[in-house]
Amino acid sequence: MTLASHSTTAAITADVNHYIHPASSIDAVQLHGPKMVAGAHGNYISDAQGRQVLDGTAGLWCVNIGHGREEISETLAQAARELDYFHSFSGMSNAKSAMLAQKLSELSPDHLTRVYFGSSGSDANDTILKMVWHYNNILGRPQKKKILSRWQAYHGTSITAASLTGLPAFHEWFDLPLGPIHHLSSPHYYLQAQEGESEAAFVDRLVAEAAQYIEQEGADTIAAFIGEPIMGAGGVIMPPEGYWPKMQALMRDNDILVIADEVISGYGRTGDWFASPAMGIKPDFMATAKGLTSGIFPMSAVFTTEEVFAVLREGSRKLGNFAHGYTYSGHPLGAAVALTNLAIMERENLCAQAAEVGAYLQQQLAERLLPHPNVGEIRGTGMVAAVQLMEDAAAKRPYALSKKIAIAVSEKAWEEGVTLRPLAGVNAIAISPPLTLTKPEVDTMISMLQRAIVAVVDA
């Protein structure tokens, strides 16, 4: 036994004996052990045996610049030597966080000029909800607190974020959702439209549903509407044309704030810095994380407007401290990594590359996989896509969830040499590679997925 394989065995034993895995079957890890990832470079990860596996998910939709950048390692080492950590409570600051806040306000849509830092997408959404509730308290309308979210949404797994999330597995058995949160229908035309309903009629029905709820509850009780511009973990759902502008107009008419959760779509994934502008969304709040540091340091950034900021400031005049903060808010190492990450993205033009290679990815997925009788829909934009598996695509008959078809396909794809994300609740496979993926790598990835689908459905 080599030294490396010996330490892998020790690590697997330690894992099985002590490590509770997030978002995993605890039973399956006990029965079959974990999949150890030993290294990562460029668009590949390597397993404990040294096998190279294409990273078709950029980690968890986040390693936008690809793995193993020397510049990032140097940034971390240098920043740690300068200022390893200090907090940002009580008006303390550090140059890296301040410069990052300025840089982000330059990259974001013009009206989003104020930035708050945390450590995860979930805490970004928690922060936004607390800011929204605080905002309405300061404005003297304490009854305006309800939040509109959507089924199929994914906003994270803290108590608030999981409550916003619209996936049953995140609610049932956890006594959630908690709080004044209401879920509207998901804008997934392919699976949710009624027989013979046009896309335009589908959009109008969803907008009418929201309008009716607002009417019934009273706009003076509803604070905000939250949505991912493109739903991610719920299925990579592209809302039909007109959905966002109409929903946004309805919210504006009723003085309801709009929150864009860009935790996946931010920082280049759709081919732009942020997805909101191209989709006609002008949010009052924007949640971001993941691609901010390419996942290399846990960091989130919440954006808001001068208008909201002025109200928060007014609150501080009356109340003193804005009583919300995390130990790691504005972490100097995270800010340093984010600045280098954004500099790499700008220098290498990764948004434009994501747009170009992403268009090729979407076109190739449609051309090569859609003809398969068990593939019902290819959806996505830029470097985020999903392949919808159907028991009978022609008859639009879905697989029973108990067949766990997406998990089987992603397991097969792993054996083929690519990691892809099973979206088990909707029988879909998500693809979200690093923005550095090349066209030949797109071809390889699709071939592997194609073989995995054929092997599973023909078994």
Ligand X SMILES: Cc1ncc(COP(=O)(O)O)c(C=O)c1O
Q: Which residues bind ligand X (CB under 6 A)?
A: 60, 120-122, 125, 154-156, 228, 232-233, 261, 263-264, 289
Residue 160 vs residues 154, 157, 163, 316, 337: alpha-carbon distances, Å: 12, 8, 5, 24, 28
Closest distance to ligand X from the beta carbon of 142 (Å): 27
Token code pair at residue 243: 């959905």
> What is the closest distance, in whole angstroms, from the C-beta atom of residue 388 to ligand X in the complex?
19
Strand order across the 384-389 sheet: 375-381, 384-389, 428-431, 421-423
Please, which residue, 202 or 297, has the CB nearer to ligand X?
A: 297
Alpha helix segments (H runs only) across 166-305: 189-192, 199-217, 243-253
Helix (H, G, I), strand (E, B) or coil at 387: strand
Cα angle value 113/340/156 (rounded, 5°): 60
Query: Which of residues 256 and 292 has its CB atom nearest to ligand X in the complex?
Result: 292
Q: What's the alpha-carbon Rg for the chain, to the nearest Å?
A: 22
Nearer to ligand X, 243 or 416 (CB): 243
Neighbouring C-beta atoms of residue 235, cutoff 10 Å: 25
Q: State which residue, 288 or 364, has the beta carbon closest to ligand X.
A: 288
> Could you tell me the smallest distance in angstroms from the CB atom of residue 226 to ligand X?
10
Considering the complex, state which of residue 300 and residue 450 has its C-beta at the smaller distance from ligand X. Answer: 300
In whole angstroms, the minimum distance from the beta carbon of 122 to ligand X comes to 3
Q: Which is nearer to ligand X, 261 or 377 (CB)?
A: 261
In this structure, what token pair is assigned to residue 182? 């209401």
Question: Residue 125 CB, nearest distance to ligand X (Å)?
Answer: 6
> Which lies closer to ligand X via its Cβ, residue 12 or residue 278?
278
Q: Which is nearer to ligand X, 260 or 453 (by Cβ)? A: 260
- Sequence letter at residue 176: L
Nearer to ligand X, 155 or 412 (CB): 155
d(CA 262, CA 230): 9
Provide, rounded to whole angstroms, the least separation between the CB of residue 430 and ligand X: 10
- From residue 298, alpha-carbon distances to 292, 349, 379, 389 in Å are 9, 24, 29, 33
Secondary structure (3-state) at 67:
strand
Min dist. Cβ of residue 432 to ligand X (A): 10
* Rounded CA separation 144/147 (Å): 9
Token pair for residue 130?
A: 């607390």
As given in the structure block, the two tokens for residue 3 are 């030294």
Q: Which residue is nearest to ligand X (CB)?
A: 121
The nearest distance, CB 153 to ligand X, in angstroms, is: 8
Q: β-strands 285-288, 300-305: how paired? A: antiparallel
> Do 149 and 184 meet the contact criterion of CB atoms below 8 Å apart?
yes
Q: How far apart are CB 247 and ligand X at their closest, in Å?
A: 17
How far apart are CB 394 and ligand X at their closest, in Å?
32
CA dist 255 and 253 (Å) reads 6
- DSSP letters for 170-185: GTTTTT---SSEEEEP
Give the number of residues written for the chain.
459
Q: How far is the CB of 119 from ligand X (least distance, A)?
A: 8
Number of Cβ atoms within 10 Å of the Cβ of 384: 27
| Residue position matching structure tokens 């107009």 | 249
Q: Which residue, 122 or 304, has its beta carbon nearer to ligand X?
A: 122
> Hunting for tokens 């949160």 — which residue is that?
181
Residue closer to ligand X (CB basis): 45 or 287: 287
